[in-house]
Structure 1
Amino acid sequence: MIYRPIYVDKIMTYVNAPFIKILTGIRRCGKSTILKMLIDEMKKKGIRENQILHYSFDSLEYEDIKTAKALFSHLKQHLSSEGKTYLFLDEIQEVKSWEKVVNSLMTDYDVDIYVTGSNSRMMSSEISTYLTGRYIAFRIYPLSFSEYMIFRKEYAEVLDLHAELANYVRLGGFPAAHLQKYTPDEVYTIVKDIYNSTIFTDIVRRNQIRKVDQLERIVKFAFDNVGRTFSAASISKYLKSENRSIDNETVYNYLSKLENAYILYRCGRFDIQGKEILKTQEKFYLADTALRYSVLGYSPDSVAAMLENVVYLELLRRGYKVYVGKVDNAEIDFIAVKQGNKLYIQVAQEIGSPETERREYGRLLDIRDNYPKYVLRTDVFAGGNYEGIKTMHIADFLLNDEY
């Protein structure tokens, strides 16, 4: 079990705080393991074994605890009589109306509660209603490049840093795919299983979707268009060209369900000159790059978009709100905003001509403010500064958390 301090340290800050700690994220991103890490940390701080209750509700062991009443009755009987009880409830969405249980426990008993879940039922309007002001949500992601490197050092032979970045882009960051040395095909088998269980359990079955082939075509369109702006209308037009009729509202509905299952992330556009968020032509990014390759297969021409995807996820991990920037008719890959600070970022696999260089750097030079600006790339480049714009290898940016 490899320690993931980016999450554990942040969550430990809220131990004993009067909030329910909710860990959400795509299946198999490491939420259950992080719960175990939290338990270990608490034991180190002197919390006794009899004060800790840990349940995994996707296990057959707790098959009989599927209602709020059954869960409340069971937990009430097992609360510690010697001080605060620390409850760790894994995949809690399997219990119907679970939010009523944790709300009641927080009100009536001396407890500190940590829960995990993998789909939209974890962050629905009902939860907000029942737990208003009483919970803190932590989004858990698959391994960052930094975490991936730790796994590599533990389980495999480490290559040159830039070669490792290429592997990371291709193989993704699901922890299960890096617990030993797997071939790409073996990794994609693991990831395809995660994809299938998410699509068919968290989306199709829970939402009683009948036209599964329609959903899968939308998934493939989104996966194949990472890093490109598109709308529901463009998806409808694409499906119509394949003799599949679907209205825009249904497309938006499917995209929202993919977001709620944490497969897709929606990135809005921001008009830098008008200083407003635009409501059209958004971009979508994947929870993990290996999802694309496990579903659509590997293709070299997809690498540039997947590099962009990797940088996008890293910015989210670091707590930024991320937008696609619009300057006149040009586009800035990312505007990252956190506590009043901004970063402007262009991502390029390579810059092979003076014309491309002028385009990539020129877009940033057109922004007339003093916030840091970066061009991140994977090819060989001379110098690290271009008229005030810092040039970095993507691997170096991913491993340097000062930004």
Structure 2
Amino acid sequence: MDTVLTHPQLVRWRTAIFAIFFATGLGFASWASRLPAVKVDLGINDFEVGILLFVSGAAAIVGLSLANVIVVRWGARRGMFGTIIAFSVGVMITGLGVEFLESYVVTAIGLAIMGAGMSATDVMMNVEAAAVEQAFEKTLMPLFHAFFSIGTVVGAGIGVAMTLWGVGVAWHLWGVGILVLITGLASLGSVPVREIVHDDPATKTSRRDRVAEALAVWRDPRTYAIGAIMLGMAFAEGSANDWLTIAMVDGHDTTQATGAIALTVFSVAMTVFRILGGPLVDRLGRVWTLRILSIAAGVGLIMFILAPNLPIAFIGVALWGAGASLGFPLGMSAAADDPAKAAASVSAAATIGYLAFLCGPPVLGWISHEIGILPTLWIIVGLIAMSGLASGAAKPIAGSKVGAGHH
């Protein structure tokens, strides 16, 4: 049995996971904001950028697979020690490869380590966040993801400053990597040992039973229905993180700095709606919240693609970000409705979401190499529509105290 935590302990736990979400967003956006500079420094085209993103995505799939094994073997808390270190080191190796070595291969190796570390950390921090949400018995998952978005806002903002000041990619990413490492490891000291996330080695549940539990959720149709919601919105979010800066520069003929500003606008819009997400869901419920925001995301992306001028493009970016903001966190929250299998279900849902989040952008890069980046984004419009149509799957199960609405 888990020890009952005092309110101050719960608050420290929640704050620690907030900080880990923030640090992960900061590291990821720092890399994404410098993609145009990476393209120039390495002398590569969109197709070759797509290869780099594919390497990162493929490594992230490995990280996703390892995350479930790590949680079962060592628990989410102890597992994150290793994965946060891997993520930070990967960020720093990437900076080294881009600027000082000007090596495509070293950059790819850095991105592989970064991708695996990030995806494994993401699964485990979502497992922890779901446990926190159930402990507080109210919708908190959007707020956790808001901290990821705050991290991306800060990361993109730093990217704007670094670009304008002419700071090299290496110095930028080294500084970020060290900051992520310190923040992540310091935060884990406030995360309690909890049986619900398999941290307690003395738990009565055998490891074989835990593995069976983790695999059983893949036979649950609700897992795939929730996955459909997350698939479309993860594509919408991931494509912006990786391609928005380039879409602004190459598609709308703007400067690198303007592209970084657009990514900042996107991240700010996501952040605002994730901060507002909990109260909104408690009022409208998960299903209607997701339906409304999917419409906003689709309309915003269409505005961006067809924009005749920059103001319209920026309005579209803001709607795109706002609309895509809650698909992933509410999918996580829905997966955690049943406390008895929350860890396994959240891991499964996170795997589906991150497959889209990480593997989608490289595919878009290959397609955009043939037809251009703006026409390629119509694929995302279709996936957003699919996500909206699948929103009913997020309806809370009987007895759940989170996400029903009308509170």
TM-score bracket, shorter-length normalisation: under 0.3
Query: TM-score, normalized by length of structure 1?
Result: 0.27
Which structure carries more helix by proportion? 2
Which structure carries more strand by proportion? 1
Query: TM-score, normalized by length of structure 2?
Result: 0.27
